[in-house]
Amino acid sequence: MKYTRLTKEQFEELHQEFINFLATQSITVEEWDEIKKNKPKIAEQELDVFSDLVWQGVLTQATYIENLSAQHIYMFHFKEKHIDLIGLKLTNDSIDLTTKEGFGWLRDNLLDDAVELFTAQKEYSNDPLKDKFELIQQGAHITKGELFTYFEKLVG
């Protein structure tokens, strides 16, 4: 398995897509029930293959990813040949960027000495999708890139 298995909730959300996936392999609902009951290892393999296909589709489409914590925001833009990073770090521990108040403080105090902005660029490894996936595993979320675009104008 290249990525991670989808959660039960994700499988439930993608129920119809999973049925279509099984159908492409000529597996009926009755056969799937039989496989789950009598061949659990094969059922596990099918779940893993489907999970990888879903992840691959999601990661292929992802252009922006953000990782937000109490004291930092890392914003990634995945370009054709490299990853652009805009980072924001607070040196004031009393501000929590994960709260509405903390984010409001940031908006009003971007030029404060407690706010450090920096940029970086990184080449992809031999597997760009895996690079994206690892960032998600570390707590990042796929976004539309509005925050990246906003800060790109400030640091650009």
Q: Rounded to whole angstroms, how far apart are CA atoms 53 and 37?
A: 24
What is the C-alpha separation between 87 and 96, in angstroms, rounded? 16
Q: Which two tokens stand for residue 61?
A: 């489409």
Domains of the chain, residue spans: 8-61, 64-155
Cβ neighbours, 10 Å, residue 85: 15
Which DSSP letter does residue 124 get?
A: -
Per-residue model confidence (pLDDT) at position 156: 73
For every one of its 156 residues, what pLDDT tens digit does the chain have, with 9 covering 90 and above? 999 999 999 999 999 999 999 999 899 989 999 999 999 999 999 999 999 999 999 999 999 999 999 999 999 999 999 999 999 999 999 999 999 999 999 999 988 999 999 999 999 999 999 999 999 999 999 999 999 999 999 887
- pTM of the model as a whole: 0.86
For 46-78, what is each residue's pLDDT tens digit?
Answer: 999 999 999 999 999 999 999 999 999 999 999
